[in-house]
Amino acid sequence: MTQSLYPAFGVLLVDDEPSFLRSLGIALERSGGINHIHRCHDSREVMEILARENIGLVTLDLTMPHLSGEELLARIVEEYPDVGVIVVSGLNQVESAVSCIKLGAFDYFVKTDEESRLVEGIRRAIRLQELRQENQALRRRVLDDTLERPEAFAHIVTADKGMRAVFQYLESVALTQQPILISGESGVGKELIAKAAHTLSGRRGPLVCVNVAGLDDNVFADTLFGHQRGAFTGAEQPRAGMIEQAAGGTLLLDEIGDLSLASQVKLLRLLQEGEYYPLGSDRPKRLQARVVVATHHDLAEKQRAGTFRKDLYYRLRTHQVHIPPLRQRKQDIALLLDHFLAEAAAELGKGKPSYPPELAVLLGNYAFPGNVRELRAMAYDAMSQHRSRTLSMAAFKRAIDQARGDEAPLHHRQRAVFAPDEPLPTLDEVADLLVEEAMQRAEGNQTMASRWLGISQPALSKRLKKRRDEGA
């Protein structure tokens, strides 16, 4: 398997000492997981490399033959302003550091500094470069209202502008190593979004999905990290964890909001250090997968309540996408209905039926607490009972009535119908408002409107006639 390069842009190490270049490159790969590295020991070749390669960050020695570091720094800042520069000098001089920062260097390190400080400084600069590139890409896509890779979203049926904005954001952050947090109610299609993020990343490895809800700390560690033989009773053979299985690809941790506090500590360390220990092993392994997490919980609320670690929450929300519920993208309902009916018809060996226009109105006025998953279940249930040329609405009505019956007590307890600072309307005024709203939602269909109002169609017709007579 070909190892994925990180970061997406190249890091150019410039120094006239080949031994320093070699040791720094090894440290970056071992400690930082940074392997997209170019090395240059001749300062005269730097500008040519920048013109030829996709370089996003340069580490630059100050004291070199031919062209000095300060000369190169000035040229890079002028000709390649989007390339970040870190100065790594053998001179521990405040004046030199201040001069370089004024010229446009991102940071200044001395070669005698601890190696870990230099590696962490380079990692920090890479993250800032990634964020800058993502912001530029997102701004370009939003202004142009374009998708560069629409095929990555072909499996998601939508015409909603909010979903399109999600797609544009995903394209902007697809190539970074940072985790993505996907939030949204159950059934909105978070796994489909994770699949699109994986496709956009260009990673050759697989997309591995793990539902972490209900896993205790030991099972979570064994599932993700794997174990060595003899790590615990019954561990007769070594087993690779899901992280290793997802190497070179994407690891999706679903229902992350249900993760225990003890497991949250392990996940935080994995994301911070980029390494992990299989159970029973004292040799760390590098994280070679991009981590994507999904949840239907409000993680901000959970961290305020103390059930989700604040440091992990902020680590995960580096890149966050929220999938709107189906009730907020009503134009997708008809598209999804057609898609699921065709899918169910093909699976059941039936022809795709037509359906009455009232069905679209009925579904458009339903809240869909189960979102896209609920609509799919309705379509499959209706198709399994379908016998005639036109699809019956009975299965949809039955499912909606049952769902509304289940949620009615809670709904009536929690919803505020009237504003407390306004006078109450009379019963006649309320009745007229209800009738008007029901007729508007039913697009003039009295049968559907009367059903929502809980009265007979003749009773509704009589009330409408009375209103017309009074208005005449």
CA–CA separation, 131 and 169 (whole Å):
12
User: What is the distance between the terminal CA atoms of the chain, rounded to a whole angstrom?
Assistant: 79
**C-alpha 140: how far from its chain's center?**
20
Q: Which of 379, 376, 377 is nearest to 391 (CA)?
A: 379
Tell me which residues of the chain have a pLDDT lower than 50. Answer: 1-2, 410-413
Instruction: For residue 13, list its beta bridge partners.
Output: 39, 59
Q: What is the pLDDT of residues 182-194, one digit of tens each?
A: 999 999 999 999 9
327-413 is classed CATH 3.30.420.40:
no
Nearest to 191 by CA among 66, 324, 75, 293: 293
Q: How far is CA 224 from CA 74, 172, 254, 289, 357, in A?
A: 47, 28, 13, 12, 49
Compute the radius of gyration of the chain from its Cα atoms. 30
With contact defined as beta carbons under 8 Å apart, do 16 and 62 qualify?
Answer: no
Q: Which residues pair with 276 in a beta bridge?
A: 285
d(CA 231, CA 241): 13
What per-residue confidence (pLDDT) applies to 316? 93
Q: What is the CATH number of domain 10-128?
A: 3.40.50.2300
Q: What is the architecture, at CATH level 2, of domain 145-324?
A: 3-Layer(aba) Sandwich (3.40)
Sign of CA dihedral 378, 379, 380, 381: positive
Burial of 250 (0-12, 13-18, 19+ CB in 10 A): buried
Q: Closest Cα partner for 278 from 312, 315, 232?
A: 232
Angle at 29 between CA 27 and CA 35, to 5 degrees: 140
Mean residue pLDDT across the chain = 88
Tokens linked to 386:
């379908």
Name the residue with tokens 């008809």.
334
Computed from CA positions of residues 53, 54, 59, 61, in that sequence, does the dihedral angle turn out positive or negative? positive
- The residue among 124, 116, 119, 38 whose CA lies nearest residue 84 is 124
**Other beta carbons within 10 Å of 345:** 18
CB 433 within 8 A of CB 399: no
Q: Are strands 37-40 and 207-211 parallel, antiparallel or unpaired?
A: unpaired
Tens of pLDDT, residues 141-160: 776 778 889 999 999 999 99
Are 67 and 33 in contact by the 8 Å Cβ rule? The answer is no
* Confidence (pLDDT) at 177: 84
What is the Cα–Cα distance from 55 to 46, expressed in whole angstroms? 11
Question: Distances from the Cα of 411 to the Cαs of 373, 399, 431, in angstroms?
Answer: 21, 17, 20
DSSP assigned state of 390: B
Nearest-angstrom CA–CA distance, 145 and 260 = 41
User: What are φ and ψ of residue 274, in 5° steps?
Assistant: 70, 20
**From the centroid of its chain, how far is CA 45?**
40
pLDDT score at 154: 92
- The dihedrals phi and psi of 128, each to the nearest 5 degrees, come to -65, -40
Neighbour order of strands in the sheet with 107-110: 37-40, 10-14, 55-60, 84-89, 107-110
pLDDT at 1: 44
Query: What was the pLDDT predicted at 174?
Result: 85
Nearest Cα to Cα of residue 452 among 366, 369, 379, 392? 366
pLDDT at position 4 is 72
Taking alpha carbons only, the member of 251, 239, 144 closest to residue 195 is: 251
* CB 82, CB 110: distance < 8 Å: no
Using CA atoms, how far apart are residues 104 and 71, in angstroms rounded to an integer?
12
Q: What is the pLDDT of residue 414?
A: 52
